Homo-oligomer: A and B are copies of this chain.
Amino acid sequence: MSLQSDLETPAVTVDIDIMEDNIRRVQAHLSAHGIANRPHIKTHKIPALGKLQMQAGAVGITCQKLGEVEVFADAGVADDVLLTFNILGAAKTERLMALSRRLKRLAVVLDNEAVAKGLSQAAVQHGGDVRFLIECDTGMGRNGVQTPQAALDLARSAIKLPHMQFEGLMTFPTRYPGSHAFFEEALALFKRAGIAVPVVSGGGTPAIFGVEQFPMLTEHRAGTYLFNDVMTVASGTATWDNCAMRVRATVVSRPTDTRAVIDCGTKVLTSDLYTVTGYGHVVEYPDAVIPHLSEEHGVIDLSKCAERPAVGDIVHVIPNHCCVVSNMVDEIVGVRGGRVEQVWTVAARGAVR
């Protein structure tokens, strides 16, 4: 077994102890609140990590692309999968129906009639039923019906289509009070209409430790909690000690007294900034800021650092957004106690469709 200190840079590493603790803690919290855990595998795209989440008590997994479902079905990770994306077009709906036959339960979301009709046609053509949830836009401003009444109207019209089984409501992310108010009103409308809503699915890592605010949820979907990152720390959901993913890098240049440059840029760390300052947190130099990334360079501002690295020194960067960093590399290195324990292939990395 090789040493972590022998790893060539840049390398994306995951501290297995921290990751296992994250899996345990989140599973225990959701279980304590009676909410099913359906982790989103887009964060890691690694079947072995999905299996760890299942073994810890997850009821199933969430995928964002058909290609992810295919990779994870091939690996036998879970027989209960929710695909949280509108699937349309003959080729994709055929792939969905083929997957549906292989899994005990494959559900999919939809937010418009065109998608509902396409799914129903595929079910008629290829056999089998489509289990669907209505995606609700409860504040994100992305996909989703805009009002509780629109959710009911769409459910009603989709239920009338052949081979379509309504299973519930879904949103991303769960936010208070928007998601709460939307779901409460929608559930009252569905009750009055006599339509059962077996599943109410919320999502997002920042919402995990506030699930008690949403008594209507039956399940929660989160991805980032497995590794954590600058964004989950900024949201108060995690501490630096909960961050399992670190990008190992070498200081290749010290052009000025206050500037260091490392051998990784956007092609590993990505340009994801969201609301945070800088492109990652440098573990060894917590007062450092990464103001600029090129594709293969990371520029570090050391102005506020008392100690400063030399050319050849190794640093570890906690990325802003772990879910996109996994997607940049072919392999993630699992480390424990300074040793390399696992090298995982990011199996669903290329699954863009």
Contact = CB atoms under 8 A, between A and B. Distances in A.
Contact of A267 (B146, B311, B327): B327
Nearest to A320: B271
- Copies of this protein chain in the complex: 2
A142 B299 contact: yes
Given A8-B91, A9-B353, A352-B268, A253 B329 contact: no
Interface in A298-353: 299, 310-312, 323-324, 327-330, 350, 352-353
Chain A contact surface mostly = loop
Contacts of A252: 85-86, 88, 115, 143
A42 interface: yes
A250 interface: yes
Contact of A312 (B88, B141, B256, B352): B88
Contact of A10 (B267, B271, B352): B352
Interface in A110-163: 111-112, 114-115, 118, 137, 141-146
Contacts of A299: 141-142
B85 A296 contact: yes
Interface of A: 8-11, 42, 64-65, 85-86, 88-89, 91-92, 111-112, 114-115, 118, 137, 141-146, 250, 252-256, 259, 261, 263-264, 266-268, 270-273, 292, 294-297, 299, 310-312, 323-324, 327-330, 350, 352-353
30 contacts: A8-B89, A8-B91, A9-B89, A11-B353, A64-B295, A85-B296, A86-B253, A86-B311, A88-B311, A89-B250, A111-B255, A112-B254, A115-B253, A141-B259, A142-B255, A142-B297, A142-B299, A143-B255, A143-B261, A143-B297, A144-B253, A144-B255, A146-B255, A146-B256, A266-B270, A270-B270, A271-B324, A295-B323, A327-B328, A330-B350
